[in-house]
Amino acid sequence: MPDNEMGLLDRLGKGIKEFRADPERMARLQMGLNSMRLNPDQGIAASAANTIQQAQERRQMTKTTNDTVAYLKRQTNNPMAQQAAAAIEANPSMVKEILGSFLTNQMKPTSSISQQSGAQLNANANGGVYDPSAMFNVTSGPEGNKISRIGGGGTTVNNNAAPKLPPGLEALDEAYAKDHLDWIRGGGADMSANVAQINSVLQKLESKEELTGPTIGMLNSVGLLGLINPDAENAKEMVQEVVQRNLKTILGAQFAQKEGEQLISRAYNPMLPPDVNSRRLAKLYQQMDIARQQRETMAKYFEENYTLRGYSGPQPKMADFYTALSQFNVGDIKNGYKYLGGDSTVQSNWEKVNQ
């Protein structure tokens, strides 16, 4: 019998079988039922929470491993990348160590060494201080040239071609470098795949599937949604997980998990009708795609210039997501205050206007 023709008892029976085969769902059910007791057992709650966390960590590790292997295998002309992919497939638990070793070797600065006479060096510099009769090693690298006399007895001279950045810009580049590595080693590709999952939920909501609404919200609040309506539970969890992961990938150090949870609650509320959630989710989907393009532009600039110095393009901000999901448009006036964007519940995001 097709799922859409199953009665409540059939759906209940199907749900029970699925729960018994899934430790995480069993733990969620256990936690929900325990919360309904007059005196919830803290031991049961802690055990269930631990089971859920372990299942999520295993799922995340599997996805990270698969994404990393796919990223490496796409580099078909890089033998080292292919070796790293094979090593990860053989030892999935060492994915971080193997990838770290691969990236370290890939990003080692390249340098070249040549030998020049002091006379050549003086001529190239339009006059210099090198002994014309001596020979020198000239090491050229990303930071400039290092010149040392062959046989010793001379002074090593560093000719730094790249101007030293101000301390503030150095700190900016150092902070961005880690986010940049995460992005290019698969974070950007992973985000694109995740956004596609959000779109699949959005399409179901737009087609009026019973994924949210008062009844769904009530079942969710008592922990029974997965048992009665697994599709609605799966859609909710997909949105929660994908949005959290994507925000962390896009925003990097700006990301705060609590803010992410608040944003999710504004974009997807199981208590509200599907049409309301579809409108909100569509706005979030659009903003995520905009932020993805902004991150791609930043990454390209950094790869070409090895710094963010001079970059003037837009950068993703948490405030952009609050603005996208706000019931107000930037510039709207309410009670004598103009909305500036960001979290509309924060006073500093409103400006008093003279009327």
Q: pLDDT by residue (tens digit) across 49-82?
A: 888 888 877 877 787 788 788 878 888 878 888 8
More confident residue, 178 or 50: 50
Region of poorest pLDDT, from 140-144, 239-243, 337-341 = 140-144
Distances 90 to 46, 84, 96, 190 between C-alpha atoms, Å: 34, 10, 13, 22
Instruction: Name the β-bridge partners of 351.
Output: 338
Residues with Cβ within 8 Å of 126's Cβ and at least 6 positions away in sequence, in order, are: none
Say if residue 163's pLDDT is above 60. Answer: no
Asked whether residue 2 carries a pLDDT value surpassing 50, the answer given is: no
pLDDT at 162: 44
Mean pLDDT of the residues in the chain: 78
Q: pLDDT band at residue 222, thresholds of 50, 70 and 90?
A: confident
**pLDDT for the residue numbered 138:** 75
How much is the average pLDDT of 328-341?
A: 89
**C-alpha distance from residue 37 to each of 32, 228, 239, 270 (Å):** 9, 20, 29, 23
The pLDDT tens digits for 230-270 are: 888 888 888 888 888 888 877 776 777 788 888 888 888 99
Radius of gyration of the chain (CA): 28
Q: Which amino acid is at 283?
A: K
Averaged pLDDT, 136-155? 63
Q: Higher model confidence: residue 338 or residue 305?
A: 338
**Tokens (6 digits) for 315:** 């950068």
CA pair distance 355, 348, nearest whole angstrom? 19
Dist. CA 46–CA 113, nearest whole Å: 61
Percentage of the chain beyond pLDDT 90 is 4
pLDDT given at position 31: 77
Residue 190: exposure state from Cβ atoms within 10 A (0-12, 13-18, ≥19): buried
Q: pLDDT tens digits, residue range 275-299?
A: 898 998 888 888 888 888 888 888 8
Give the bridge partners for 157, in sequence order.
147
Quote the pLDDT of residue 161: 43
Q: Which residue has the higher pLDDT, 65 or 109?
A: 65
Q: Which of 51-65, 95-109, 315-329 has the lowest mean pLDDT?
A: 95-109
Note whether 113 and 139 are within 8 A (CB): yes
112 pLDDT band (50/70/90 cuts)?
Answer: low
Confidence at 271, pLDDT banded by 50, 70, 90: very high
Whether residue 110 has pLDDT greater than 80: no
